[in-house]
């Protein structure tokens, strides 16, 4: 629908998304701006995100994956570098080498066998690939939808696989751009066919942790 405070669609469509589309969705992959639009609330913390997730779960959405946000995450709080959300700040996010990006996801589904509601929150941390690339939002959404469908209840593994592919595609694209072989920065999807089909989840420093 949009990003960075700007709509890509007519504003009249927002209400249609909220009232007519969301009740039929099982997997949703909004950025922070879109999540705020869909839930009519400002999101500046993990607590806010959890409230927003719950609103969408109550409308029938099983998995909500916040693919980009201004919620800052500290991955150095323990020796295992498990992510934990600490604050919200536009200044905490950078394209500088060595910096990291974060994804927050919530999964909630009523079990038909036990009638129990399973609810899990995950935070994923992964290295920034320098540069700006067109189509990354579409690609991560497609990958998450594919892997959540194939892996069913294992959202953590689905996130690992999707992010491993993203890292591989962006690294390949960045390297080609640096060598002058891809001046537009167009994502090298055809060249990344193997990475899309069989992502290497152990080779890209992608950390996914369940949090409370």
Instruction: Tell me the per-residue pLDDT of 39-81, one tens digit each, with 9 for 90 and over.
Output: 999 998 888 999 999 999 999 999 999 988 777 655 444 434 4
Q: Report the distance separating Cα 63 and Cα 106, nearest Å.
A: 6
What is the arithmetic mean of pLDDT over 197-205?
Answer: 88
73-128 residue pLDDT tens: 554 444 344 444 433 333 333 455 568 888 999 998 765 554 455 688 999 988 88
According to the model, what pLDDT value does residue 199 have?
95
Q: Are 66 and 28 in contact (CB under 8 A)?
A: no
Q: Report the distance separating Cα 166 and Cα 52, nearest Å.
A: 26
158-193 residue pLDDT tens: 999 999 999 999 999 999 999 998 888 899 999 999
């Amino acid at each position: 629908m949009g990003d960075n405070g700007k709509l890509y669609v007519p504003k009249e469509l927002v209400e249609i998304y909220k009232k007519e589309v969301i009740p039929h969705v099982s997997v949703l992959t909004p950025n922070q701006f879109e999540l705020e639009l869909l839930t009519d609330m400002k999101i500046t913390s993990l607590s806010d995100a959890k409230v927003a997730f719950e609103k969408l779960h109550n409308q029938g959405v099983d998995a909500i994956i916040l693919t980009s946000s201004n919620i800052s995450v500290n991955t150095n709080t323990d020796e295992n570098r498990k992510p934990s959300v600490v604050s919200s700040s536009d200044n905490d996010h950078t394209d500088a080498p060595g910096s990291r990006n974060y994804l927050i996801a919530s999964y909630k589904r009523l079990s038909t066998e036990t009638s129990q509601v399973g609810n899990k929150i995950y935070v994923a941390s992964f290295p920034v690939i320098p540069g700006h690339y067109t189509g990354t939002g579409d690609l991560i959404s497609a990958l998450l939808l594919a892997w959540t469908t194939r892996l069913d209840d294992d959202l953590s593994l689905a996130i690992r696989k999707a992010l491993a592919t993203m890292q591989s595609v962006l690294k390949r694209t960045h390297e080609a751009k640096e060598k002058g072989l891809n001046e537009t920065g167009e994502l090298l999807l055809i060249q990344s066919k193997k990475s899309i089909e069989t992502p290497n989840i152990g080779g890209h420093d992608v950390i996914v942790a369940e949090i409370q």
